[in-house]
Structure 1
Amino acid sequence: MSDRSADLRAAIDAVREASRACHAVQQRLVRPETLEKKDKSPVTVADFASQGIVCAKLADYQADDALVGEESADALREPDQAALLGVVAESVCAALRTEASHEQVLTWIDRGSAHAQGDRYWTLDPIDGTKGFLRGAQYAVALGLIERGEVVLGVLGCPNLPLDAGRGALFSGVRGEPAHVRSLWDADASAREVRVGDIGRASDARLCESVESAHSDQDQSSRIAGLLGIQGEPFRIDSQCKYAAVARNDASIYLRMPTRPDYREKIWDHAAGSVIVECAGGRVSDAEGRDLDFRHGRSLEENRGIVATCGSIHQEVLDAVRAARR
């Protein structure tokens, strides 16, 4: 058993409860017309509630641990947001099975406003894939633990991702150990090891990328696929579920090509997923082949683009990426 086993248990517990809360909000508040009306209130509720739940759980586990999250509670403190705060607080308290004042809930959410500094801190995307959430499709709760600039642990809660016949999967990885998947709903179910696929040629690979073209240069991904001889259509899926797809051999390549030269990825968008793929035997780098560098605050300042593969074809994919960018 790893010396990080306690960290892993705490992370799984936090992500499981946050994912269940997000699922409940999605089922209760998201309607077919939600995206058409550009109503973002359901994902706003789930976003804040998820961060509050994870922060509260980790505060109980290690009060001194910092958490670098995507949200702060400032907007919820505005007088005209009282009704929204009430719904968020209700979701948080239901998940934690406790009673708490609105101010306590705000304090929990604000624990996620820490700076990315020090030898040890967590990073959280409370809902990765907001448009997927609003479409009733894929999204993830993503929690990573960073020690001395390296991601050492990651947990992904994927409420709508199939787990064999059912839905709701929770992926985890501790650096140096195998990756695992377990049921999101049945905490007593056994975890199962997941492993990337083993293919000899990139032309046999299935490629996955973002649904939203604003998130990744899909034209460039198409050129890369052509250079590799990949015939099939890309597998498009929201959120860090793409990392889960590579880890469990639903895809062999995940590409995220920047849409503009000054764009820098946020650490919470890649910490959990990248370590899970690596624990499953895959490889993750930027478009130049450099390891992802988590030592520069809230963004991956020294990296451009993301390339995640099953490992055996990584160099072949990188060669195609470079050729497509010329």
Structure 2
Amino acid sequence: MSKYSKELEFAIEISKTALRITEWFKAVGFESFKKVDDTPVTLADLAAQIYIVSNLKTHFPDDQIISEEDSTYLSNQAEKLIKRSFEELNLNNSFNLKEILNYNGKQVNRKWTIDPIDGTKGFQEDLYYAVGISLMEGSDRKISVITAPKFLDKGFTTFTAEKGNGAKVSYEGKEFIPIKVSDQNSLEEATLVRSLHFDKEWVSKFAQVANIKKFVRIDSMLKFCMVATGIADLYVKPVDMDHSYTWDYAPGDLLVSEAGGIISDLNNKPVNFNEEKFICKTPGFSVDNCVLHRDIITNLEIIRFWDVN
């Protein structure tokens, strides 16, 4: 038994149940809202976060919780529908939904990050999305879980990583098996995974300079999973440096690292995490199999439009 096996097993189970909740809303219907940063949120996001937070609060009461949503859109009607979803799925709903949704726990070294639906646009359009959970000590990622209702030609899929113990995947409820990044050493033969709903022209320019011809687009942190499994060889991600958050990237960061890959900013400097903030000092970052990393940075230098610092 590893140091964090208890936390990892627990995160796997609550992520699976959170996915049951989101899929319930997909079948029944859900209301959507646009947040102040123009990103979407649905009642399914709120319900899944309520479930995850309530369980973490019960089982790890001394830990901090960093989560994406709050109670801004939790109307009386929304509460009724969320409680109905819990009742029909035989889940406890005897707590105050608003209090749980706003709960952050203590300001301590151990912190859970929660993204109840990563890829909300994909969820809205019946494409790809995932539930993402990680545990950090300070800014050091210790475990991560990414669960999705589908992954390419597979059904229900769960990815896990534990610091120092590798990355794994379970397809359709089967046994977890180790995963690792590809050994592709040619950018011209490499597959680049790109964002479906948030991309920038400079990524296309980079691909053109690097002579990359193979692309795949997918929503959510499943792009990290594409690299971690070796299905894709690199992922170049634009970011808004003022609106980038730990819950979006911590699960995928650890997964790729434990699968043998590397994540760096466009200046080949490490990315980092500080409470809820994802720290990337350039307008994007690279995720890849390590073998291609030097060539990726070299080609990014050719199209440089950002500061060197």
TM-score by length of 2: 0.89
Decide whether aligned partners of structure 1 residues 253 and 99 sit closer, same or farther in structure 2, where only a CA change above 3 A counts. Answer: closer
Are 2:303 and 1:318 aligned? no
Q: Is the 8 A contact 1:22 1:46 kept in 2?
A: yes
Q: How does 1:186-205 map to 2 (within 5 A)?
A: 186=173, 189-205=174-190
Are 2:156 and 1:168 aligned? yes
Which protein is richer in strand relative to its size? 2
- Cα separation, 2, equivalents of 1:303 and 1:19: 33
The 4+ residue runs of structure 1 with deviation greater than 6 A are none
Q: CA deviation at 1:264?
A: 4.2
Are 2:260 and 1:281 aligned? yes
Out of 120, 136, 139, which is 2:129 matched to? 139
Paired position in structure 2 for 1:35 = none
Unaligned runs of 5+ in 2: 34-39
Unaligned runs of 5+ in 1: 31-38
Q: CA deviation at 1:94?
A: 4.3
Decide whether aligned partners of structure 1 residues 156 and 99 sit closer, same or farther in structure 2, where only a CA change above 3 A counts. Answer: closer
Q: CA deviation at 1:61?
A: 2.0
- Cα separation, 1, equivalents of 2:270 and 2:88: 40
Q: Is the 8 A contact 1:137 1:160 kept in 2?
A: no
Provide the secondary structure at the position in 1 that maps to 2:164.
Answer: coil
Provide the secondary structure at the position in 1 that maps to 2:278.
Answer: coil
Q: How does 1:1-326 map to 2 (within 5 A)?
A: 1-29=1-29, 40=32, 44-76=42-74, 81-95=75-89, 97-101=90-94, 104-111=96-103, 113=104, 117-162=107-152, 166-183=154-171, 186=173, 189-212=174-197, 215-217=198-200, 219-232=201-214, 234-258=215-239, 263-294=242-273, 296-304=274-282, 305-326=284-305
Q: CA deviation at 1:203?
A: 1.6
- Cα separation, 1, equivalents of 2:87 and 2:167: 31
Q: CA deviation at 1:104?
A: 2.4
User: AA paired with 2:65?
Assistant: L
Q: CA deviation at 1:224?
A: 1.1
Q: Is the 8 A contact 1:43 1:133 kept in 2?
A: no
Partner deviation per Cα, 1:33-69 (whole Å, 9 max, x = no partner): xxxxxx6269612101110111122123211111100
Decide whether aligned partners of structure 1 residues 289 and 93 sit closer, same or farther in structure 2, where only a CA change above 3 A counts. Answer: farther
Q: Is the 8 A contact 2:61 2:105 kept in 1?
A: no
Decide whether aligned partners of structure 1 residues 93 and 325 sit closer, same or farther in structure 2, where only a CA change above 3 A counts. Answer: farther
Decide whether aligned partners of structure 1 residues 310 and 25 sit closer, same or farther in structure 2, where only a CA change above 3 A counts. Answer: same
Sequence identity (%): 26
- Cα separation, 2, equivalents of 1:120 and 1:49: 24
- Cα separation, 1, equivalents of 2:202 and 2:154: 35
Provide the secondary structure at the position in 2 that maps to 1:303.
Answer: coil
Q: CA deviation at 1:99?
A: 4.2
TM-score by length of 1: 0.85
RMSD: 2.1
User: AA paired with 1:205?
Assistant: A
Paired position in structure 1 for 2:36 = none
- Cα separation, 2, equivalents of 1:93 and 1:242: 33
